[in-house]
Amino acid sequence: MEHKDKEEEFREVFEKHSDELFRHCHLRLSDRERAVELTQETFLRAWEYVSKGNVVKNYRPFLYRILNNLVVDEYRKKKSQSLDALLEDEETVVSIEGEFLRDESDALEAAMIRFDAAHAIEALKKLPQQYQVVLIMRYVDGFSSTEIAAYMKEKENAIAVRIHRGLRKLRDMLEL
């Protein structure tokens, strides 16, 4: 493939996946600026890989793998920072509800939905990482269990069980 063709293909990949990668990262980090930076870094690393002549058959899981590694590195860097401080960032919750839930048809109903969504997102962030990641990938990013299993290099059954257990834990947290 010619260099120009690679650039055009990569430009299309960026247009197709940049927003969903950013949302995924923003939900996991609760820091808009870092989410933007890590999303950009993801595409930079992917471009470096492709420009060296390497072939990517399916960009979506490839990009998520790069992003996940960057997020894990970010968690390692911030180990000393309190998780509670990250979870209590109300500005992030308002930002998230504004991005994901817009409904002008019925203001009261929309406000109630956003309030519930904000609590669900707050609870989701309190789940252990193993459940949080699969639930975000499944219900925010729209990955199937098969795609998540391939991405995480695990059996589909293990992912399905993790999703089920994560949902049960989330439901228990929301019922309190």
Residue 128 belongs to a domain? no
Q: Which residues of 81-97 are buried (b: 16+ CB within 10 A; e: fewer)?
A: eeeeeeeeeeebbeebb
Residue 87 belongs to a domain? no
Q: Which of 44, 138, 12, 81 is nearest to 36 (CA)?
A: 44
Is 30 in a helix, a strand, or coil? Answer: coil
Rounded to whole angstroms, the Cα distance separating 129 from 69 reads 14
Q: How many domains does the chain have?
A: 1
Residue 44 belongs to a domain? yes
Q: How many residues does the chain have?
A: 176
How many other C-beta atoms lie within 10 A of the C-beta of residue 20? 17
**For tokens 């979506």, what's the residue?**
60
145 close to 136: Cβ distance less than 8 angstroms: no
Q: What is the DSSP letter of 127?
A: S
pTM (global) more than 0.85: no
Residue 101 belongs to a domain? no
Q: Domain limits at 35?
A: 1-81
CATH number, domain at 8?
A: 1.10.1740
* C-alpha separations of 155 from 16, 161, 175 in Å: 27, 10, 31
pLDDT in single tens digits along all 176 residues of the chain: 576 788 889 899 999 999 999 998 888 888 889 999 999 999 999 999 998 888 888 899 899 989 988 988 887 776 534 444 444 444 444 444 444 444 444 555 555 555 666 777 788 888 898 998 898 888 878 888 888 888 888 999 999 999 999 888 888 887 76
